[in-house]
Amino acid sequence: MSSVDLNSKIPNNVGLADDPKLQRALEKWLPNYLEWWHDMGPTDFEDKPVFLRTAISVERGGWANYDYVKMPDYRWGIFLAPNEGEPTIKCGDDAGTPAWLDVPGEHRNALRRIIVTQADTEPASVEQQRLLGHIAPSLYDLRNLFQVNVEEGRHLWAMVYLLHKYFGRDGRDEADELLQRRSGDADKPRILGAFNQPCDHWLSFFAFTMFTDRDGKYQLAALAESGFDPLARSTQFMLTEEAHHLFVGDTGIQRIIKRSAELQALDPNGDVRAQGGIDFELIQRTINYWYTYSLDLFGGEISSNASSFFASGLKGRFHEHRFEDHRAIEGEYRLPVVEGGKLVEKDVALRNAMNEVLRDAYVADCERVIARWNKTLETAGSPTRLSLPSRRFHRHQGIYAGHAFDPQGNLISAEEYEANRSRWLLVPEDNEYLLSIMKPCYEPGKFANWIAPPTKGIEGRPVEFEYVKLHD
């Protein structure tokens, strides 16, 4: 395990200084990355000091440093989690045998594809969020947005390191292309669906960090079980940063719910919008929208890709060590499929259902958060309850795509679906309303009317701390 080198151009614990060729290649990529950040990262705040966390080590206790940093000066580093004992392949045909310290020729293409797909989401999310700083509900939230953004940038670095180090010329080309695709671009879109959807306002930002970053948690956890050891250790460390992103989304929506319940109680007709707040129907539509796009990110329910990734030990299940049988050759997974215009139960080979197994863990995690949000509503005396729609609703990938379902998961006609779209999903009129109430609120300790303050600040600082210095 190399020690941490914080003073070189690219902070790292991967011994870059001992590999001058790799170091040069990454130092050549660095200005292109900075140019991308300047063009596609958060607009207009480049000269403002932000109270940011920077990864400086992989020690559990003290891995991060907090200080004011201007975003373009952020120290994006490359860190691998330390190995505990001899790493082994965690799943599939070769479970229990030594892990690969280099890329096995037969898995080169599959690994490259997985790494590129993971990498692509990181800059995509920064692009999606680039304008949100202009309408932040507080300096506290503004800081959290920028924290998420710089860390997604570091996640890109983590994957680009793997591409440069282990995939030669192809890897360098892929790394260049990661800076060329653009979220939502008609000609050069990002790879996965959710990362091409607009994220125009803070309700979408919080839903995105709640639901889409949470897909990130589960995908990273599955890759943390990879038999390709550098990928496993890289994603393990990314997960330490990911927790904050999920916190931002979970508590962001929870604070909106709390405020909406207050406004509901305040209004003589219980009308949240009349008080300038975000009504619960709109919150539910936003949940429906981002949760289902995030479900798509797990891929098809029945997937030969997933089967071969698992079989070859490239990608495990969530917490693979908790399973008894790491080969999963036997066993079936039962799921509803559409046949002859009806839903019928069908058994598929377990390995082919690995995307669905991972999605199950994700859905259960989302359910736990929804239950907490409903507790908030209960405590506030509101009769409203929020819920997750069926995993068949509003899907664009997998066996339910191409069929129409209502949020309860019943097969319905395309006409019925279209007629209810604006009741079930975030639509352009919603965005108009949200943008009309989202004005920047940049006074330390002050919060926009549509959201409650957090219960505490960041890293022991008070809520009214000046998290972003907008004035010298």
Site for Fe ion, rule CB under 5 A: 122, 152, 155, 213, 216, 245
d(CA 177, CA 124): 12
Complex with Fe ion: residue 154 or 201, whichever CB lies closer:
154
Q: Using CB under 6 A, which residues numbered 13 to 42 contact ligand BYC?
A: none
d(CA 355, CA 317): 9
117 binds, among Fe ion, ligand BYC, none (CB under 5 to 8 A by kind): ligand BYC
Residue 216 touches ligand BYC, criterion: CB under 6 A:
yes
Classified as helix, coil or strand, 394 is coil
- Most distant CA pair in the chain, distance: 69
Stretch that binds ligand BYC, among 66-74, 175-183, 209-217, 255-263 (CB under 6 A): 209-217
d(CA 226, CA 213): 20
Among 298, 373, 393, 400, binds ligand BYC (CB under 6 A): 298
d(CA 347, CA 337): 10
Classified as helix, coil or strand, 422 is helix
Residue 295 touches ligand BYC, criterion: CB under 6 A:
no
The answer to whether the beta carbons of residues 464 and 442 sit under 8 Å apart is no
**Tokens coding 330:** 């036997």
Complex with Fe ion: residue 90 or 245, whichever CB lies closer:
245
Residue number of the CB closest to ligand BYC reads 299
299 binds, among ligand BYC, Fe ion, none (CB under 5 to 8 A by kind): ligand BYC
Residue 197 touches ligand BYC, criterion: CB under 6 A:
no
Backbone angles phi, psi at 43, to 5 degrees: -80, 145
**Tokens coding 65:** 């440093």
Q: Using CB under 6 A, which residues numbered 112 to 141 contact ligand BYC?
A: 114, 117-118, 121-122, 125
Residue 250 touches ligand BYC, criterion: CB under 6 A:
no
Stretch that binds ligand BYC, among 82-90, 214-222, 380-388, 459-467 (CB under 6 A): 214-222
User: Nearest distance from residue 411's CB to ligand BYC, in Å?
Assistant: 21
Choose among 139, 227, 8: nearest CA to 461: 139
Which secondary structure element, helix H or strand E, spans residue 359, and what is its range?
helix 354-379
User: Nearest distance from residue 461's CB to Fe ion, in Å?
Assistant: 22
Residue 152 touches ligand BYC, criterion: CB under 6 A:
yes
Residues 6+ apart with CB under 8 A from 268: none
Among 23, 129, 144, 303, binds ligand BYC (CB under 6 A): 303
397 binds, among ligand BYC, Fe ion, none (CB under 5 to 8 A by kind): ligand BYC
d(CA 140, CA 453): 9
Q: Which amino acid belongs to residue 257?
A: I
d(CA 240, CA 356): 25
Among 184, 193, 444, 445, binds ligand BYC (CB under 6 A): 193
Q: Residue 383: how many CB atoms within 10 A of its CB?
A: 10
Classified as helix, coil or strand, 64 is strand
Stretch that binds ligand BYC, among 8-16, 301-309, 342-350, 371-379 (CB under 6 A): 301-309
Residue 77 touches ligand BYC, criterion: CB under 6 A:
no
Complex with ligand BYC: residue 183 or 264, whichever CB lies closer:
183
Residue 296 touches ligand BYC, criterion: CB under 6 A:
yes
Choose among 79, 55, 59: nearest CA to 159: 79
Q: Using CB under 6 A, which residues numbered 413 to 432 contact ligand BYC?
A: none
Classified as helix, coil or strand, 205 is helix
192 binds, among Fe ion, ligand BYC, none (CB under 5 to 8 A by kind): ligand BYC
Among 144, 219, 236, 264, binds ligand BYC (CB under 6 A): 219
User: Nearest distance from residue 390's CB to ligand BYC, in Å?
Assistant: 18
Choose among 203, 292, 214, 288: nearest CA to 252: 203
Residues that bind ligand BYC (CB under 6 A): 114, 117-118, 121-122, 125, 152, 192-193, 212-213, 215-216, 219, 296-300, 303, 305-306, 315, 355, 397
